[in-house]
Chains A and B, each alone.
Chain A
């Protein structure tokens, strides 16, 4: 599918989306309500068939916390970047996609560990790299690094 066809496909499903033209691939921003169902349709529909989730990135935009999913179809060779933002910073919640792509389970644990985004219905949401009693979420922009581990350059 070309980018325009993909846009049309997503618009047919839900109109509450925003598109950004990125030279790398089409970018689609969706809200948390429609996110899970859109992801399911994109994966299971034969005309899109996004079966390969190759990167899951958490990001802190200071007014919201988000997750970026890089998707590719191994059959149809097209790509899509799916972005979802949780605006409630104190209690960010995003539906988990662990049942659509198997790799998402560990990837979402990493995002939870660093950003504190809770993935709803995730089977095993624990910290993965930091210790279990670690306070705060290190990759957030307002994280205070009291022991000065990271701020070596200053």
Chain B
């Protein structure tokens, strides 16, 4: 009997390591976490990145500005259009090109559609991570409607590549406005179903509430932006702080919460979908006439200097830093990827939580791995 008690005591004290990933389904990609466990409790964890590192920043140094845009799609593939826009805005601001209002409005509408599509997939996967498989079918069913709109207007479904410096690749499809309005009516009926299915579910709420706490000070210090940061009360919305495209012309509120737990991050994203629909509604009937493209020189050369452009991607602040020597390709390109910053807080958030809660924390952070590795 004493032997057993001693063994139990040793088991409790003993620390051991397990590898979560790179093939674990809840990491949503190829991220490996080396988790230091004591019993079932996480003591600390270390992320190991680089399984999908493609050297995009180095490739950018050899490519022209028009070519770079198509590489930014491949960072955070769920906010492909927004990443494209960051580079386009940077080039347009550097060359002081004014794009027409039509371009600004269309860009903003597609930005917000991208955000809804991204949050739908996140919601689908968040439920699935915690064992509710139904959500995956609901989320993907509704996301399909947006991808169909993208396919008609942009040509692509996931990596749209619809932006180019000076405007857009092509004008919108004649059905675009009709289809978007149909989608809004459809999704306004479906979004309350999301709440019915998951938001009020007792098991789900208990898995998420008070799990993975992040205070406002720590969120700022770790640079956690986007819905994850706003759930901790960190007002970090670039659409409000430094409005770009048509965000200055619309009224919307920044979703802020105080709790900073996984459930708050969940609710923030659900509320953001409502707010995105609100923005689209204000713009969709008012797309001004005009050119969808401002003619530019065939070879773009940025004046010598350094440029920085930030936009609000689906998971936080996406930034592009370009240092130019006046050549046709940039001297140095750096992408400030929101997920890499969000990942750095994972260790802090998951300490002294159970290993099963680590899955809930990761799904509430909504990491996209190609954006971390670049």
Interface size class of A (residues with CB under 8 A): 35 or more
Give the contacting residue for B344; candidates A57, A68, A106; CB below 8 A: A106
Do residues A138 and B308 form an inter-chain contact, with CB atoms below 8 A?
no
Do residues B321 and A106 form an inter-chain contact, with CB atoms below 8 A?
no
Q: Which residues of B contact A59 (CB under 8 A)?
A: 323, 332
**A-contacting residues, B215-233, CB 8 Å:** 217-218, 220-223, 225
Give chain A nearest CB distance to B21 CB in angstroms.
15
Do residues B58 and A55 form an inter-chain contact, with CB atoms below 8 A?
no
Q: Does B57 lie at the interface of the complex (its beta carbon under 8 Å from any beta carbon of A)?
A: yes
Do residues A55 and B340 form an inter-chain contact, with CB atoms below 8 A?
no
Q: Does A93 lie at the interface of the complex (its beta carbon under 8 Å from any beta carbon of B)?
A: no
Nearest residue, chain B, Cβ from A27: B306
> C-beta contact mask, B160-185 vs A, less than 8 Å → 1, else 0?
00000000000000000000000000
Do residues B348 and A55 form an inter-chain contact, with CB atoms below 8 A?
no
Give the contacting residue for B373; candidates A129, A138, A150; CB below 8 A: A129
> C-beta contact mask, A52-75 vs B, less than 8 Å → 1, else 0?
111101111000000010100010
Give the contacting residue for A151; candidates B62, B217, B340, B345; CB below 8 A: B62
Give chain B nearest CB distance to A34 CB in angstroms.
22
Q: Does B307 lie at the interface of the complex (its beta carbon under 8 Å from any beta carbon of A)?
A: yes
Q: Which residues of B contact A144 (CB under 8 A)?
A: none
Q: Which residues of B contact A154 (CB under 8 A)?
A: 62
Do residues B340 and A22 form an inter-chain contact, with CB atoms below 8 A?
no
Q: Which residues of B contact A57 (CB under 8 A)?
A: 321, 332, 334
Give chain B nearest CB distance to A27 CB in angstroms.
8
Give the contacting residue for B223; candidates A103, A129, A138, A139; CB below 8 A: A103
Kindly state the separation between the CA atoms of A74 and B310 in the bound complex, as whole angstroms. Answer: 15
Q: Does A26 lie at the interface of the complex (its beta carbon under 8 Å from any beta carbon of B)?
A: no
Do residues A68 and B49 form an inter-chain contact, with CB atoms below 8 A?
no
Nearest residue, chain B, Cβ from A103: B223
Do residues A153 and B63 form an inter-chain contact, with CB atoms below 8 A?
yes
> C-beta contact mask, B297-337 vs A, less than 8 Å → 1, else 0?
00000000111101000000101010100000000101010
Do residues B223 and A53 form an inter-chain contact, with CB atoms below 8 A?
yes
Q: Does A102 lie at the interface of the complex (its beta carbon under 8 Å from any beta carbon of B)?
A: yes
Q: Does A101 lie at the interface of the complex (its beta carbon under 8 Å from any beta carbon of B)?
A: yes
Q: Which residues of A contact B343 (CB under 8 A)?
A: 106
Q: Which residues of A contact B118 (CB under 8 A)?
A: none
Give the contacting residue for A24; candidates B62, B222, B307, B336; CB below 8 A: B307
Kindly state the separation between the CA atoms of A97 and B12 in the bound complex, as whole angstroms. Answer: 36
Kindly state the separation between the CA atoms of A102 and B373 in the bound complex, as whole angstroms. Answer: 19
Q: How many A-B residue pairs lie within 8 Å, measured between CB atoms?
A: 90
Q: Does B266 lie at the interface of the complex (its beta carbon under 8 Å from any beta carbon of A)?
A: no
Nearest residue, chain A, Cβ from B47: A106
Q: Which residues of A contact B344 (CB under 8 A)?
A: 102-103, 105-107
Kindly state the separation between the CA atoms of A55 and B348 in the bound complex, as whole angstroms. Answer: 20
Q: Which of A51, A129, A130, A139 has the most CB of B within 10 A?
A: A129
Give chain A nearest CB distance to B148 CB in angstroms.
34
Give chain B nearest CB distance to A8 CB in angstroms.
23
Nearest residue, chain B, Cβ from A74: B220
Do residues A54 and B221 form an inter-chain contact, with CB atoms below 8 A?
no
**A22-B306 contact, Cβ under 8 Å, with A54-B317, A54-B336, A74-B235:** yes
Do residues A150 and B348 form an inter-chain contact, with CB atoms below 8 A?
no
Give chain B nearest CB distance to A108 CB in angstroms.
11
Q: Does B97 lie at the interface of the complex (its beta carbon under 8 Å from any beta carbon of A)?
A: no
Q: Which residues of B contact A51 (CB under 8 A)?
A: 217, 220-221
Q: Does B55 lie at the interface of the complex (its beta carbon under 8 Å from any beta carbon of A)?
A: yes
Q: Does B59 lie at the interface of the complex (its beta carbon under 8 Å from any beta carbon of A)?
A: yes
Kindly state the separation between the CA atoms of A140 and B234 in the bound complex, as whole angstroms. Answer: 36
Kindly state the separation between the CA atoms of A105 and B344 in the bound complex, as whole angstroms. Answer: 8
Kindly state the separation between the CA atoms of A103 and B344 in the bound complex, as whole angstroms. Answer: 6
Do residues B348 and A102 form an inter-chain contact, with CB atoms below 8 A?
yes
Q: What are 9 of the A-B contact pairs (CB < 8 Å)?
A: A24-B308, A51-B220, A53-B223, A54-B310, A102-B348, A139-B58, A149-B55, A150-B58, A152-B62
Using A54-B225, A54-B341, A151-B62 as known contacts, list a sample of 8 further A-B pairs with CB atoms less than 8 Å apart, ordered by residue number in A.
A53-B223, A54-B317, A102-B348, A103-B222, A106-B47, A110-B340, A128-B50, A149-B55
| B residues at A contact (CB < 8 Å) | 47, 49-50, 53, 55, 57-59, 62-63, 217-218, 220-223, 225, 234-236, 241, 305-308, 310, 317, 319, 321, 323, 332, 334, 336, 340-341, 343-345, 348, 373-374
